[in-house]
Amino acid sequence: MTGAYNLEPGPRLRDPVPLISWTQAGEWAEIIDNFPPGEAEEWLETTARVGRSAFALRVIGDSMTSPVGKSIPEGAIVIIDPDATPENGSIVVAKLIDDQKSTLKKLVIDGPNRYLKPLNPNYAMIPINGNCRIVGVAKKVEFDL
């Protein structure tokens, strides 16, 4: 068969990123340099534009499932870039000082006030000040239909 096809090349695959636990995510800055490859649940290929310290998380729960607009359902894989700068409206992984695990929420900056906002309106916003550290910014969400 000869002729031209109306196909464009797909996005370039990046280096695989580790799928890690929510507890590991909160400690990622401390463990990344000595992270044994076998500690990852699996290694995932991604087309997300992320730095070399990127990782992936599997969403647990429905706090980021919205009835309208953007939604990140339970079971989705979120690719996180710790080197990205969080901005107002970014979806971030945050580690609250009093919690063992990290959380995925929308960062809301309103003047001097900062909040972690679930996309699900059934959950309350979490005011943050010195009680929180932003671990990274979500760059891509992947899930099966």
Distance CA 37, CA 18 (A): 8
Report pLDDT for 83. 94
Distance CA 20, CA 41 (A): 6
SS3 assignment, position 101: coil
- Domains of the chain: total: 1
52 within some domain:
yes
Structure tokens at 27: 């400690």
78 within some domain:
yes
Task: Report residues of the chain scoring pLDDT below 70.
Answer: 1-4, 9-12
Instruction: Summarize pLDDT for 116-139 with one digit per residue, the tens.
Output: 999 999 999 999 988 899 999 999
1 within some domain:
no
126 within some domain:
yes
4 within some domain:
no
- Per the structure, the complete domain to which residue 105 belongs is given by 17-142
Report pLDDT for 3. 57
The distance of Cα 43 from the centroid of its chain, to the nearest Å, equals 15
10 within some domain:
no
11 within some domain:
no
The CATH number of whichever domain residue 25 belongs to comes to: 2.10.109.10
Give Cβ neighbours of residue 94 (< 8 Å, ≥ 6 apart): 102, 103, 105, 107, 116, 128, 132, 133, 134, 135
Distance CA 49, CA 81 (A): 9
6 within some domain:
no
